[in-house]
Structure 1
Amino acid sequence: MTLEITNLSKTYNKEKKALSDITLTIRQGMFGLLGQNGAGKSSLMRTIATLQDPDSGTITLGAIDVLKQPEEMRKILGYLPQDFGVYSNVSSCEMLHHIAKMKGISNSAERKETVNELLVRVNLFDVKDRKLSQYSGGMRQRFGIAQALLGNPQIIIVDEPTAGLDPMERNRFYNLLSDIGENTIVILSTHIVEDVSTLCNDMAIIGDGKVIKTGKPNEIENELAGKLWIKTLEKDALKQAYEEYPVISTYYEAGKPVITILSDLQPNDSFTLKKPTLEDVYFNLMFQQNIK
């Protein structure tokens, strides 16, 4: 099954262009949608999830016309929004039973088996009777995935799922999403480059409501091979470096700034060739967007 998004546009308040002629093909597996906050990612996710209508364009999932058949889409959709609210004074087990009923799992024995299997899958079974208000951020996100998996969805949307998680919880979440993505379309919307480079086989970079780049992360990285150069500076030389070179990013190593520049040729012997990463591609695209 393939999700086809064609010429999708959305404007808020007759002024703010949230989505501008978005066209994407998303197949089974993990698909990363990478962009800054305000780039249009959440608007696109809400539209795919049938929570808002676009001004123009089409979305199809297999034989389903998503915009004309929203109820059919919702039957096979799992959704974890960026702001996932829960009833804090109930347990995860109680909440999943409640959501399962709403998704049509009416048989109590089947529902119990389904809920328990999901709690085991997201590693929450041992704390299934604990109130959701007592869960850590990572535990709540894993609960969010559990509710999204109810009903065996064919497409799952997760919007900024790792924001605010510590490294250990983020790693647990990576493993969980990777497992889910083997047999399902999973769209991961994030501003964290590591999320996409770690998990996704295909991706798109979005900015100002437009698709800037699509492809496989490793192939996109290779487009900058032989064109990135790094140099360690003293702090007081940083301002001049930005004036002299096309600096796309800066990071610090042992307290000193290290600049990355884009150039077909080595500027001078003080620069060292750098192997490109997805983060470099992202920074370069944002740099190009800002200078236009």
Structure 2
Amino acid sequence: MIQFKNIAKTFRKARVLNGIDLEIGIGERVALIGSNGAGKTTLIRCLLGEYTHDGEVRIAGLDPREHRTEVLGKIGFVPQLPPPLKMPVGQLIDFSASLCGTDPARIHAIAERLGLDVASILTRQFVRLSGGMKQKLLIAIALGRDAQVLIMDEPAANLDPEARKIFFDLLAERQENVTMIISSHRLDEVSALVNRVIEMDMGQVVLDDRVADDVSLSGQIACRIVIKREEPAFTKAIEAWQFSRSADGLVWEGEIAGPDRLRFHGMVARYIALVADISMQEA
């Protein structure tokens, strides 16, 4: 589906990409990881046809620069930093839908599933939305088309736990016939979403490995946490995950999305001295 052949890119005599050779097939879910400056974003921009470069990039056999309109019609892209668009939300949805020949209602429906009240913000400028609202709308635009390739840069960074559950469900609905590239500087943020890890450093691929693929994107994990005493900071943190507590406030129960388990463990770890017992099992 995606081919990179000896890709090299230089900015002002600085070599940013240095001989990248990769093939990514349909149905693969790839974590593209590496520190800032490793070359991840530049590689994605080459894939989107935004940069000239040495070597060849192909998506379904097509050069993304020579066949830009056709190729972009196959791609759903969620950037890490939302663009500073002053376009009203309703106009942005209609414009995005027209570019790929999809029904704007599909974008509306996905945004609503993510918890975004689209009707109330149709006339608001995109740039004036909150970070979470922008992220939900960009995800809805990317997933609201019949894309063969999904490219996402830190896609769940600004989503609340409930919205992330829905996001993982949306990915699960597409995982059999879509190639996904999820860029992140932290593997623990995306490890449960992917079946392949590609790590970059200094413009080169330093790791390309298959990983265990036994976590369902739509799976749920039932959790029960017993704490030693009530703590306001913990209460605020656990309530963000939609957990409910017992009458005495010492037992908390709820469900998390399977791919969110590492993020959840990270939250609980901050209060580990407070935790008396914790149990987790697939729901």
TM-score for the superposition, normalised by structure 2: 0.65
Q: Unmatched 5+ residue regions in structure 2?
A: 214-265, 274-283
1:119 aligned to 2:111?
A: yes
Instruction: Give the match for residue 44 of structure 1.
Output: 43
Matched, 1:200 2:194: yes
Q: Are 2:60 and 1:80 equivalent residues in the alignment?
A: no
Q: Distance in 2 between matches of 1:32 and 1:157?
A: 10
Query: Structure 1 residues 164-173 or 188-197, which shifts more?
Result: 164-173
Identity of aligned residues (%): 29
How far apart are the structure 2 equivalents of 1:141 and 1:254? 29
**CA distance in 2 between partners of 1:196 and 1:184 (Å):** 17
**Which stretch shifts more, 201-210 or 178-187?**
178-187
- Note if contact 2:93-2:104 (Cα within 8 Å) is conserved in structure 1: no
Structure 2 match to 1:9: 8
Structure of greater Rg:
1
Q: Secondary structure at the match of 1:100?
A: helix
Paired AA for residue 38 in structure 1: G
Residue 196 of structure 1: CA displacement?
A: 2.6
Match of 2:182 in 1: 188
**1:178 CA drift (Å):** 3.9
Give 2:60's aligned residue.
Answer: 62
**Structure 1 residue aligned with 2:93, among 79, 93, 96?**
96
What is aligned with 2:26? 28
State the Cα RMSD in Å. Answer: 3.0
CA contact (8 A) 2:76 2:147 kept: yes
Aligned with 2:153 (options 159, 166, 188): 159
Report if the CA contact (8 A) 1:79-1:156 is conserved: yes
Instruction: Specify the code of the residue in structure 2 equivalent to 1:113.
Output: A
How high is the TM-score relative to the length of structure 1? 0.63
* Matched residue type, 2:148: Q
Q: 1:135 to 1:82 in 2, by over 3 A?
A: same
Any unmatched runs of 5+ in structure 1?
A: 106-110, 220-250, 257-292
Instruction: Tell me the CA shift for residue 39 of structure 1.
Output: 0.7
Name the counterpart of 1:128.
119
- 1:137 is matched with which residue: 131, 134, 138? 131
CA distance in 2, matches of 1:194, 1:255: 19
Count matched residues: 215
